[in-house]
Amino acid sequence: MDTVVSGIRSTGNLHLGNYFGALRNFIDMQYKNRCFFFIADYHSLTTHPDPSKLHGNVKNVLTEYLGAGLDPEQSAIYVQSDVPEVTELYLLLNMHAYIGELQRTASFKDKIRKQADNVNAGLLTYPVLMAADILLHKADCVPVGKDQEQHLEMTRKYARRFNTIYGVEYFPESQPYKFSGELVKVPGLDGNGKMGKSEGNGIYLVDSDKDIRKKVMKALTDSGPTEPNMPMCEGVANLFTMLKIVSGQEVHDYFLEKYNDCSIRYGDLKKQLAEDMIKVIAPIRERILQIQSDDEYLRNVIRRGAEKARESASKTVKEVREIMGFKPF
């Protein structure tokens, strides 16, 4: 039985990228593993969210986790800030995280560009907090999308460094979970980059059928191939990537053949993609709507999750303190 840890920032509604990147493949596997799924509300602070929205954002991720099929009887589902042990481990790991390597992280460089007026220390040490989340439960395996690969490499680096410095075999080398041999990157609908919460290019788990159809039909394409086996523009390539993830290899190959012999009609491809997205999303959305007003149920889930997480976390922090030489008087 492996220990599995995964988190999602509470910065907006979950989209298909979050679902296929970090959740879907673990819905069944939660029954065979020791699983921790948390809502990364501390991580969301790097962008200075409005305090009046913070709690609502956390609640959204919680209901969407449950709607997607996480089972609170099996997995500990908790809010990061309900487990204060993570901040202590973060502080301790920070002492062995070097500024140079943090400044070279791709996500940090990206954020410096995107929020030049708010380059805070939390952004710089974001990967250390993430390593603390993972090592807090000594995770073997971390379901994440492709964009988190470098953060996972850093987590392993910090684990190895800790073990070497203190001469122990304490932290495991947590591996990203590769379901079909590769990490997933769900592209956006706007013809560039990945689907993201703040990019405005996503299909969300709470979207109505009508919205899904409308968004997919509007996705960027070109005027169609004019000769056999033409290279694809990014918008079209993205639709094919989504087709493979959502509709499966067979449907993908059917439309690819049509693209390659120039008989494709993008409208047909989009219709197929939208209907297959609806098949995934509609039951999840129904469950979200059912549970989102059941505050007592949500409170119980989150209380139980924090208990389970703190039990595991306090054991780790106690052991780490001992290894580092802290002693009671």
Among 4, 70, 142, 189, binds ligand TYM (CB under 6 A): 142
When the beta carbons of 151 and 285 are compared against ligand TYM, the nearer one is 151
Report in angstroms how near the CB of residue 18 gets to ligand TYM at its nearest: 4
Subset of residues 15 to 74 that bind ligand TYM, contact rule: CB under 6 A:
17-18, 21-22, 40, 43
Strands (DSSP E) found in the chain: 3-9, 34-40, 75-79, 141-142, 175-176
Sheet holding 141-142, edge to edge: 75-79, 34-40, 3-9, 141-142, 175-176
145 interacts with ligand TYM by CB under 6 A: yes
Among 4, 5, 86, 89, binds ligand TYM (CB under 6 A): 5
12 interacts with ligand TYM by CB under 6 A: no
Q: How deeply is 9 buried, as exposed, middle or buried, from its count of CB atoms within 10 A (0-12, 13-18, 19+)?
A: buried
Q: Which residue in the list 32, 53, 111, 270 is annotated as catalytic?
A: 111
Subset of residues 229 to 288 that bind ligand TYM, contact rule: CB under 6 A:
none
Q: What is the CA radius of gyration of the chain?
A: 21
Among 148, 201, 238, 272, binds ligand TYM (CB under 6 A): 148
Stretch that binds ligand TYM, among 85-93, 117-125, 140-148, 266-274 (CB under 6 A): 140-148
Among 35, 86, 184, 274, binds ligand TYM (CB under 6 A): 184
Write the CB contacts of 216 (distance below 8 Å, at least 6 apart in sequence): 189, 203, 270, 273, 274, 277
Q: How deeply is 171 buried, as exposed, middle or buried, from its count of CB atoms within 10 A (0-12, 13-18, 19+)?
A: buried
7 interacts with ligand TYM by CB under 6 A: yes
Q: What are phi and psi of 109, to 5 degrees?
A: -60, -40
Complete DSSP assignment for 110-165: HHHHHTTT---HHHHTHHHHHHHHHHTTT-SEE---GGGHHHHHHHHHHHHHHHHH
Structure-block tokens of residue 93: 């790991």
Among 147, 171, 191, 205, binds ligand TYM (CB under 6 A): 147
Structure-block tokens of residue 114: 């995107």
Identify the three-state secondary structure at position 79: strand
When the beta carbons of 40 and 313 are compared against ligand TYM, the nearer one is 40
Report in angstroms how near the CB of residue 284 gets to ligand TYM at its nearest: 15
For residues 40 and 7, is the Cβ–Cβ distance under 8 A? yes
User: Is 197 assigned a catalytic role?
Assistant: yes
User: Is 258 assigned a catalytic role?
Assistant: no
Among 39, 79, 123, 195, binds ligand TYM (CB under 6 A): 195
Report in angstroms how near the CB of residue 133 gets to ligand TYM at its nearest: 4
Q: Which residue in the list 138, 197, 215, 308 is annotated as catalytic?
A: 197
Residues that bind ligand TYM (CB under 6 A): 5-9, 17-18, 21-22, 40, 43, 130, 133-134, 142, 144-145, 147-148, 184-186, 194-196
Residues with catalytic function: 111, 194, 197
